[in-house]
């Protein structure tokens, strides 16, 4: 049976003021091998019958990642998930990830049915940036180009000029800076600060953060590096500055994956959601991947390098989507139209400049 466990987390608003919020971590039921096999077989059949395709994020359960690949779907970061869903011919998209990913898929493909295993699967960045407060923030800086991270609601995207993901944020902001534009950035403050440092762009930042990446600890990371002096340190840019400063590579989810697969080191310390380790270990079986330290120990809570919302995605939820049409994503026509523009700008930019997405372009910061 699924277990619902409450957990507290802190949200930051535009001014960096904190409030404590509570959510429910829905711990997926433990299934034995034969139950998982049976569920996977049913899902495969239902995907065919329903003309559906499974689009999974790197952070969801390994079974779902494998199933997506076995059935002609994809395991990807949020940019690639959006692209894949838009270009695929299936009538139904099953998006295993968090809510903004389902909304993005629906915005790009309004004619398709978009279903998610659990509509409660959200994101602290999305929760911490409500559309009305964000709109007031934009009103206060009318001369700035509004750039939002993908991890925002459709309503926030509708107010933005550009949407970016961590795969292309740096290059898009650099492009805007080169055109002489000043930036309003939301919601992740760490990624915003990192981009500001790298590009020198004039940016005002919303002060949100990801409850998973924000928990990586710099002192403990320094100790771990001393214990593994030959390890490369790979860090997602949503992590705090003191962690990013120790990285050999700061990069998007895809960039971190590629660094392990193509890198010449045998050991890597990785600061991102541990769901990505499933794919890293599949694609680079001879290499050692070590989790960067957090303050927590238990699973499916904050401070354990496992996103509680990503963890809400399970095999049973996918089957419910397929059998009952549960978890359908709806976006109003007006929001769809407005939000479409800022997503399209990013997709066009990255299509015209594929080099912008090459993970190898993410700068090396050197060890602190």
Footprint of ligand SF4 on this chain (CB under 6 A)?
A: 98, 123-125, 151, 210-212, 273, 307, 309-310
CA quadruple 295, 301, 302, 305: dihedral sign? positive
CA 327, CA 332: separation in Å to the nearest integer? 16
Taking the least distance from each CB to ligand SF4, the nearer of 146 and 312 is 312
CA atoms within 13 A on the CB side of 253: 21
Q: For 327-339, b where at least 16 C-beta lie within 10 A, e where not — what string?
A: bebebeeebbebb
Question: Which residue lies nearer to ligand SF4 by CB, 73 or 275?
Answer: 275
Nearest to ligand SF4 of 9, 162 (CB atom) = 9
Helices (H) and strands (E) in the chain, counts: 15, 14
User: Distances from the Cα of 307 to the Cαs of 127, 161, 171, in angstroms?
Assistant: 14, 28, 27
Site of tokens 């602290």: 124
Gap between the Cα atoms of 149 and 4, Å rounded:
29
Nearer to ligand SF4, 74 or 90 (CB): 74
In the bound state with ligand SF4, the residue whose beta carbon lies nearer, of 196 and 306, is 306
Nearest distance, CB of residue 19 and ligand SF4, angstroms: 16
Helix (H) or strand (E) holding 186: strand 183-186
* Cβ at position 310, least distance to ligand SF4 in Å: 6
Least Å distance, CB 286 to ligand SF4, is 27
Q: State the nearest-atom distance from the C-beta of 236 to ligand SF4, in Å.
A: 9
Smallest distance from the beta carbon of 189 to ligand SF4, in angstroms?
A: 12
Query: Which CB sits closer to ligand SF4, 76 or 90?
Result: 76
| CB closer to ligand SF4, 90 vs 163 | 163
What's the closest the beta carbon of residue 355 comes to ligand SF4, in angstroms? 26
Identify which of residues 50 and 85 has a Cβ nearer to ligand SF4 in the complex.
Answer: 85
CB 116, min distance to ligand SF4, A: 13
3-state secondary structure of 102: helix
Closest approach of ligand SF4 to the CB of residue 78, in Å: 9
Q: Taking the CA atoms of the chain, what radius of gyration do you get in angstroms?
A: 20
The set of residues, in sequence order, having a beta carbon less than 8 Å from that of 270 and lying 6+ positions away, is 234, 235, 256, 260, 276, 277, 280, 289, 290, 291, 292
Give the side-chain half-sphere CA count within 13 A for 43. 28
Contacts of 362 (CB under 8 A, 6+ apart): 170, 249, 250, 251, 252, 255
């Amino acid at each position: 049976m699924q277990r619902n466990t409450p957990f507290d987390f802190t949200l930051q608003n535009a001014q960096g003021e904190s409030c404590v919020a509570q959510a429910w971590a829905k711990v997926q039921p433990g299934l034995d091998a034969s139950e998982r096999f049976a569920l996977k077989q049913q899902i495969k059949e239902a995907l065919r019958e329903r003309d559906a395709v499974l689009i999974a994020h790197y952070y969801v359960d390994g079974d779902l990642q494998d199933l997506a690949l076995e059935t002609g779907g994809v395991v990807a970061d949020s940019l690639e998930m959006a692209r894949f869903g838009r270009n695929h011919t299936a009538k139904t998209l099953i998006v295993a990830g968090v809510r903004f990913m389902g909304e993005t898929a629906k915005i790009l493909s309004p004619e398709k049915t978009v279903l998610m295993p659990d509509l409660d699967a959200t994101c602290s960045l999305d929760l911490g940036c409500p559309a009305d407060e964000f709109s007031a923030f934009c009103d206060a800086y009318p001369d700035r180009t509004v750039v939002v991270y993908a991890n925002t609601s459709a309503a926030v995207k509708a107010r933005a000029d550009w949407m970016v993901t961590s795969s292309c944020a740096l290059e898009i902001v650099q492009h805007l800076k080169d055109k002489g534009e000043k930036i309003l950035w939301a919601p992740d403050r760490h990624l915003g600060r990192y981009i500001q440092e790298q590009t020198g762009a004039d940016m005002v930042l919303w002060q949100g953060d990801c409850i998973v990446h924000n928990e990586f600890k710099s002192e403990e990371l320094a100790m771990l590096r001393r214990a593994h002096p030959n390890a490369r340190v790979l860090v997602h840019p949503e992590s705090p500055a003191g962690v990013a400063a120790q990285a050999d590579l700061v990069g998007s989810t895809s960039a971190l994956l590629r660094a392990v697969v193509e890198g010449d080191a045998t050991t890597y310390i990785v600061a991102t959601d541990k769901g990505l380790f499933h794919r890293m270990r599949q694609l680079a079986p001879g290499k050692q991947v070590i989790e960067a330290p957090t303050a927590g120990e238990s699973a499916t809570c904050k401070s354990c390098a496992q996103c509680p919302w990503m963890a809400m995605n399970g095999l049973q939820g996918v089957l419910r989507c397929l059998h009952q049409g549960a978890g359908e994503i709806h976006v109003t026509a007006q929001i769809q139209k407005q939000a479409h523009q800022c997503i399209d700008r990013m997709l066009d930019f990255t299509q015209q400049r594929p080099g912008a997405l090459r993970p190898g372009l993410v700068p090396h910061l050197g060890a602190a």
